Amino acid sequence: MRFLIHALALAVALPAAAQQQDFSQVEVKAEKVAEGLYMLTGRGGNIGLSVGKSGSFLVDDQYAPLSDKILAAVKAITPDPVRFVVNTHWHGDHTGGNENLGKAGAFLVAHENVRKRMSSEQFSATFQRTTPPSPEGALPVVTFAEGVTFHWNGEEIRVYHVPPAHTDGDAIVHFVKADVVHMGDLFFNGFNYPFVDVSSGGSVDGVIGAADRVIAAVNEKTRIIPGHGPLAAKTDLVTYRDTVKTLRDRIAKLKAEGKTRDAVIAAKPTADYDAKWGQGFIKPDVFTGLVYDSLP
Ligand SMILES: [Zn+2]
């Protein structure tokens, strides 16, 4: 059981593991978030779906073996084909369906560093795993540096990049009219330490900064789709931001005192949070090490 949880946890973050997973029992479910706006869950990153007069618009697409189930879930809501897929970042549990969705006629859109990382072999120091380059058909065909706005389904969909955080190619997707924000893996909801993917250019200060930015832009009624975990409200994001900031400051203090990475991990600076926050995908020692690595 323990091994299984470990294996699943790795697979959540790492695209290369997709082939070894059994997706046959995975159910893709749609949850209505606002008028014309849905959150789809199956396995991998939460998907955002906008439907309406212009056509379907997806944020992220989980794993390739789930594409048929995802398209069936979309079809149960609207007959319109998927016209755009925006990736929140390059990780395979968010981009694994790209090639299939592209073949089905969608334009793939992402930050330019998503295309860069998907185009070349990637190595995760955290998980000691290599991810091969993605096939041409899985790569974003439209890339942006700062952001791009879609005028689609009567919505203003603002997609914007933030400084290095979860990775160096993160994008936040704000559906202005529906008052919904998709944060990708800038936010793990449900009391889980964030994954600061230092191997992909991530930084804990960016994670805090991205949360600050969204908190400043939303209100109590805004619905927030996290990369993983249940649909959230502003208060959940505030709790997350405050926790990450508190722990970041503790680790920064130890690092500033000249303690080595191993010594900081051994000091267990997250100990009083671990029972609640350290049971998920990112274990306390891994979190502490990644925060340490990403601090100046
Ligand atoms: Zn991710």
Whether 18 has a pLDDT exceeding 60, the answer reads no
Q: How many residues does the chain have?
A: 296
Per-residue pLDDT band for 43 (boundaries 50, 70, 90) equals very high
Q: At what angle do helices 284-294 and 234-256 cross, to 10 degrees?
A: 70
Residue 19 pLDDT level (bands cut at 50, 70, 90): low
pLDDT digits (tens, 9 = 90+) for 216-260: 999 999 999 999 999 999 999 999 999 999 999 999 999 999 999
Averaged pLDDT, 68-95: 97
Query: What is the Å distance from ligand 1's center to 280 Cα?
Result: 14
Answer yes or no: are the C-beta atoms of 28 and 69 closer than 8 Å.
Answer: yes
Task: Compute, in angstroms, the gap from residue 113 CA to the centroid of ligand 1.
Answer: 14
Q: Calculate how far, in angstroms, residue 70's C-alpha sits from the geometric centre of ligand 1.
A: 19
Residues 52 and 135: their CA atoms lie apart, in Å, by 31
pLDDT at 42: 97
Rounded Cα distance between 54 and 38, Å, is 16
Looking at the chain, the number of H-run helices and the number of E-run strands are: 10, 14
Mean per-residue pLDDT over the chain, rounded: 94
* Single pTM value for the model: 0.93
For residue 94, the 8-state DSSP code is H
Quote the pLDDT of residue 20.
Answer: 74
| 58 CA from centroid of ligand 1 (Å) | 17
Strand-pair category, 56-59 with 223-225: unpaired
User: Cα separation of 63 and 98, whole Å?
Assistant: 9
> What pLDDT does residue 255 have?
98
Of 210, 178, 258, 227, residue with least CA distance to 59: 227
pLDDT digits (tens, 9 = 90+) for 110-120: 999 999 999 99
Give 72 Cα–ligand 1 centroid separation in angstroms: 24
pLDDT recorded at residue 17: 55
